[in-house]
Structure 1
Amino acid sequence: MITVFTDAAASGNPGPSAAGVVIKQGTHFTEYSFFLGEYSNHEAEFLAVIRALELCKEQFPNEIISIRSDAKIVVDTMDQAFTKNQRFQPYVTMIQQLEPHFAMVFYKWIPEKQNKQADQLARKQLRNV
């Protein structure tokens, strides 16, 4: 199983945003950060998951992927595979299109204190813009 921690940071709502992704394979951690563009914080959180799944698609196809996020809205939405918010629907669709590349993808909400590494990556990337 591959464990993936995602987080996003935005300056403004919407505003410049960035994502941090930490991929854990066994005892090995790989860190990534991305500038996303102008998005709301919630949109950036969905985009962080999309970036993470794109990375995993290249590196770990057909694996079991556990996405860990402190963004409750993302975890709840993906657990239900549904959103009433039309603004989020394109992100949900993108994530759902990536999921078949894996044996299984599941989402788990974690407290912010357990997601510090991904948070720091996103914030650092945002500061460097």
Structure 2
Amino acid sequence: MHTVHLYTDGAAKGNPGPGGYGVILEQAGTGYRKEFYEGFRLTTNNRMELLAVIVGLEKLTKPNTTVLVVSDSKYVVDSVTKGWVFGWEKKGFAGKKNPDLWVRFLKIYRRHKVDFKWIKGHNSHPQNERCDQLAVMASTMPDLHVDAFYEQQGETLL
């Protein structure tokens, strides 16, 4: 089975403010490529970075898929590769931001074989640049979605 490359980016104008994510799924050696994006009326860049990874993983239909997530988000990459999120989980995410998304992430993360690679953003990486374009475009679309958890709970309460 071929490795799936999952390229992601998130954006929020104002942070918090209108935001969006962009995702590219590519399957090595097959020519398969799909793009996804979605915008929200009030959110943060970190929520969009994490949601991009979640949505990309949720699009995979076969369990135990080998995935390489390529992201410019130190927040997401370090949280997983340095094991922080697993410690947060054991403590019920007490005092941590975005617990709703981390719970959702861990559920889908455990269905696959996922590795992470951090890349510097805005550094002429074609897929990262495209994901950034998708995220920014999504954040400016009419009829933006509601990030219900963020709007109901408020970032300062977490």
Please say whether Structure 1 and Structure 2 have the same fold, judged by a TM-score greater than 0.5: yes
Question: RMSD across aligned C-alpha pairs, in angstroms?
Answer: 1.7
| TM-score, with structure 1 as normaliser | 0.87
Give the counterpart of 1:100 among 100, 107, 110. 110
Amino acid paired to 1:94 = R
| Kept in 1: contact 2:19–2:48 (CA 8 A) | yes
Query: What residue is the counterpart of 1:31 in the other structure?
Result: 35
- In structure 2, runs of 5+ residues without a counterpart are 89-94, 143-158
Note if 1:118 corresponds to 2:118: no
- The count of corresponding residues between Structure 1 and Structure 2 is 126
* Structure-2 separation of matches of 1:95 and 1:80: 16
Residue identity (%)? 30
Greater CA drift, 2-11 or 81-90: 81-90
Query: What residue is the counterpart of 2:50 in the other structure?
Result: 46
Give the CA deviation at 1:37: 4.0
* Structure-1 separation of matches of 2:38 and 2:83: 25
Larger Rg: 2
| TM-score, with structure 2 as normaliser | 0.72
Query: What residue is the counterpart of 1:82 in the other structure?
Result: 84
Q: Which has the higher strand share?
A: 1
